[in-house]
């Protein structure tokens, strides 16, 4: 008789830390490998084109049923499933609830779990705390871009929105460009700016921190620029950026919203995305104008294609470039604008590597699903 027993591994947040989830260099290497795999097409996500970000449950502004949550910024539940091939060959899903009001009680805005599954049987392999998993893979993607497209002699980072996402992005920039010496920071409040400066002093003491009073001041003379803001509501809330502010040769890593001027969308700026089919999926799920609903600059690219103001071939896919060995700058003065939307294949990749390390170190708690299923 076949063995029907199914056990899986539970990893708490301390277990994940011990398994190396916060190792930015290793995470960046894993994300680069992931990009090459999806550049070959060896992956599946949800949606009709197998490249959807995920499925979201939102809430009405004025619910009529007692107990139903009402809409606020970042109030949602979301499932992000994926399969990733290559050396990974695993499936998984990130599930999380999010509410910006959590911060008032000392909780993260979003609370994540991740389940890794065997691709043959579908059985769970591991269940893990995933806030750090998600934060690290999100921060590693800008670093992969910087590794290939930022100036080799980059010294200054301009950063707008000094939150959690900005911390991991800055860590990845330092891995990609060890010569960085300064970060210019613009936040919404002096309290947030000071907290970020204190974190940099404790974590990346080689960097000088300059608090600036405008987006323009953060962007000017920076070799690497990133906006890590949360901008709920209308597109008019998106933070501004103008091409005239941008240093020739700068690398712009954008995992959140921004309001670019027409010049930044024009000639002389290279348009790069983490996965072109991701934006095609968003354009199908949130029909034009997509950027009004999904505040990721790549959705502005697809809107401009819809309007006839940008050609599809102007949108380059970093996975395709990495797989082809062509992920590099064309010249010293080109500006590269990198849109980062986030994909569950990233979570699958980093979870797979962290679980392997956890097993090697004997971390976590084995849990039993069943010895023999009642229904089979």
Does 220 share its domain with 246? yes
In the three-class reduction of DSSP (H, G, I as helix; E, B as strand; rest coil), residue 244 is classed as helix
The verdict on 292 and 208 lying in the same domain is yes
Residues 50 and 115 in one domain: yes
Looking at the structure, tell me whether residues 338 and 349 fall in a common domain: no
pLDDT in tens, 43-84: 999 999 999 999 999 999 999 999 999 998 789 999 999 999
Closest C-alpha to 296, from 109, 102, 141: 141
Q: What is the mean pLDDT of residues 240-259?
A: 97
The candidate with the shortest Cα–Cα distance to 227, out of 177, 276, 279, 188, is 188
Could you tell me if residue 375 is inside a domain?
no
Output the pTM of the full model.
Answer: 0.96
pLDDT tens-place string over residues 109-141: 999 999 999 999 999 999 999 999 999 999 999
Same domain, 213 and 72: no
Choose among 109, 133, 124, 137: nearest CA to 16.
133
Judge whether 339 and 270 are in contact, CB under 8 Å. no
At residue 1 the predicted structure's pLDDT band, cuts being 50, 70 and 90, is very low
Domain assignment present for 315: yes
Same domain, 95 and 159: no
Based on the fold, state whether residues 349 and 338 are members of the same structural domain: no
Q: Is residue 86 part of a domain?
A: yes
Average the pLDDT over 153-162 and give the result: 98
CA distance 77 to 346: 19
What's the number of CA atoms in the CB half-sphere (13 Å) around residue 71? 10
Taking the CB of residue 178, how many other CB atoms lie within 10 A of it? 9
What's the CA gap between 262 and 258, in Å, rounded?
13
CA–CA distances in Å: residue 343 to residues 81, 108, 141, 255, 351: 9, 20, 10, 12, 13
Q: With beta carbons less than 8 A apart as the criterion, state whether 199 and 120 touch.
A: no
Report the C-alpha gap between 138 and 234 in whole angstroms: 24
At 198, which helix (H) or strand (E)?
helix 190-203
> CB within 8 A of 151, min separation 6: which ones?
177, 223, 249, 250, 251, 329, 332
Q: What is the pLDDT of residue 222?
A: 98
Looking at the fold, whether 103 and 151 belong to one and the same domain comes out as: no
In tens, the pLDDT along 13-51 reads 999 999 999 999 999 999 999 999 999 999 999 999 999
pLDDT at 235: 80
Does 376 fall in a domain? no
Q: What CATH code is carried by the domain that includes residue 66?
A: 3.30.1780.10
Whole-Å CA distances, 241 to 114, 265, 269, 335: 35, 11, 13, 13
CATH of the domain at 220: 3.40.50.720
pLDDT digits (tens, 9 = 90+) for 256-271: 999 999 999 999 999 9
Residue 271's DSSP bridge partners are 315, 337
pLDDT, mean of residues 154-179: 97
**In this structure, are 114 and 166 located in the same domain?**
no
Residue 110 belongs to a domain: yes
Report whether pLDDT(233) > 80: no
| 1 occurs within a structural domain | no
Residues 296 and 271 in one domain: yes
Residue 245 inside a domain? The answer is yes
Q: What angle do CA 60, 82, 362 make, to 5 degrees?
A: 110
- Mean pLDDT across the chain: 96
Rounded CA-CA distance 185/283 in Å is 32
Domain that holds residue 14: 6-133+345-370
Whether 364 and 286 map to the same domain: the answer is no
pLDDT in tens, 172-206: 999 999 999 999 999 999 999 999 999 999 999 99
- Roughly what angle, to the nearest 10 degrees, separates helices 164-176 and 190-203? 40
- Is the residue at 244 inside a domain? yes
The per-residue pLDDT for range 316-358, each reduced to its tens digit, is 999 999 999 999 999 999 999 999 999 999 999 999 999 999 9
**Number of structural domains in the chain:** 2
Do 269 and 297 sit in the same domain of this protein?
Answer: yes
Res. 232 pLDDT band, cuts 50 70 90: low
Span between the terminal Cα atoms of the chain, in Å: 14
Distances (CA, A) of 173 to 129, 186, 243: 25, 17, 22
Mean pLDDT of 222-241: 88
């Amino acid at each position: 008789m076949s063995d029907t027993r199914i056990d899986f591994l539970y990893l708490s947040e301390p277990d994940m830390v011990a398994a190396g989830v916060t190792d930015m260099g290793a995470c960046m290497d894993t994300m680069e490998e992931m990009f090459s795999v999806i550049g070959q097409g060896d992956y599946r996500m949800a949606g009709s084109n197998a490249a959807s970000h995920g499925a979201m449950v939102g809430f009405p502004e004025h619910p009529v049923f007692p107990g139903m949550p009402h809409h606020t910024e970042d109030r949602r539940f979301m499932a992000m499933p994926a399969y990733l091939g290559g050396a990974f060959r695993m499936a998984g899903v990130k599930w999380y609830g999010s509410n910006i009001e959590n911060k008032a009680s000392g909780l993260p805005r979003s609370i994540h779990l991740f389940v890794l599954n065997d691709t043959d049987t579908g059985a769970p392999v591991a269940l893990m705390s995933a806030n750090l998993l998600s934060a690290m893979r999100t921060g590693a993607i800008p670093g992969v871009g910087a590794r290939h497209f930022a100036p080799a002699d980059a010294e200054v980072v301009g950063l707008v929105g000094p939150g959690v996402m900005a911390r991991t992005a800055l860590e990845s920039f330092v891995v990609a460009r060890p010569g960085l010496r300064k970060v210019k920071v613009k936040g919404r409040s002096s309290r947030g700016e000071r907290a970020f400066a204190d974190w940099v002093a404790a974590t990346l003491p080689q960097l000088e921190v300059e608090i600036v009073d405008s987006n323009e001041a953060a962007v000017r003379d920076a070799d690497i620029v990133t906006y890590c803001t949360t901008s709920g509501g209308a597109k008019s809330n998106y933070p501004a950026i103008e091409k005239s502010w941008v240093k020739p040769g700068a690398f712009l890593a954008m995992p959140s919203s921004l309001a670019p001027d027409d010049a930044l969308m024009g000639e002389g700026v290279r348009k790069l995305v983490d996965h072109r089919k991701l934006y095609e999926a968003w354009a199908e799920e949130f029909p034009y104008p997509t950027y009004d609903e999904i505040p990721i600059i790549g959705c502005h690219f697809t809107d401009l294609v819809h309007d006839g103001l940008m050609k599809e071939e102007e949108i380059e896919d970093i996975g395709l470039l990495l797989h082809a060995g062509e992920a590099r700058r064309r010249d010293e003065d080109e500006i590269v604008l990198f849109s980062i939307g986030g994909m569950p294949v990233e979570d699958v990749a980093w979870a797979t590597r962290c679980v392997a390390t956890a097993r090697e170190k004997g971390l976590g708690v084995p849990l039993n699903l069943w010895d023999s299923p009642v229904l089979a």
